[in-house]
Amino acid sequence: MIPKSQWRSTCPIACTLDLLGDRWSLLVIRDLFCGKQYFDEFLTAPEKIATNILSARLAWLTQTGIVTRKPAANDKRRMCYQLTPRGQSLKPVVLSVAHWGVEHFPGTAMERGK
């Protein structure tokens, strides 16, 4: 169950957008599907997300059960972010968006691993 005080409506599309309908969440999730796990790995994406935004998004995605957050075994500073089963279930959403983008934006392409 996803915690949030105010959903705009009981429409599943509206609720999903309330959860991750912003400019960045789905890109973070894309990178998680690509195997990225650490804060600085997300920063290397070509879209150049700001650290405060990334921090806020990871916290929100953790809070809502889309990702897990735990310290790496060998370095307690490094936080390891991974998709939960709930997060992994977003794969069809990510793929349908990616597919539409490839069809409608000349010059774009899906990278390996997606």
Cβ distance to DNA smaller for residue 76 or 104: 76
Minimum distance, C-beta of residue 77 to DNA, in the bound complex (Å): 4
Other C-beta atoms closer than 10 Å to the C-beta of 60 total: 17
Cβ distance to its own copies smaller for residue 55 or 88: 88
- Spatial neighbors of 97 by CB under 8 A, at least 6 apart, are 26
Minimum distance, C-beta of residue 5 to its own copies, in the bound complex (Å): 14
Minimum distance, C-beta of residue 59 to its own copies, in the bound complex (Å): 19
Asked if residue 72 binds its own copies (CB under 8 A), the reply is no
Q: What is the dihedral sign for C-alpha 101, 62, 55, 8?
A: positive
3-state secondary structure of 93: helix
Rounded to whole angstroms, the Cα distance separating 109 from 91 reads 17
Asked if residue 69 binds its own copies (CB under 8 A), the reply is no
Asked if residue 99 binds its own copies (CB under 8 A), the reply is yes
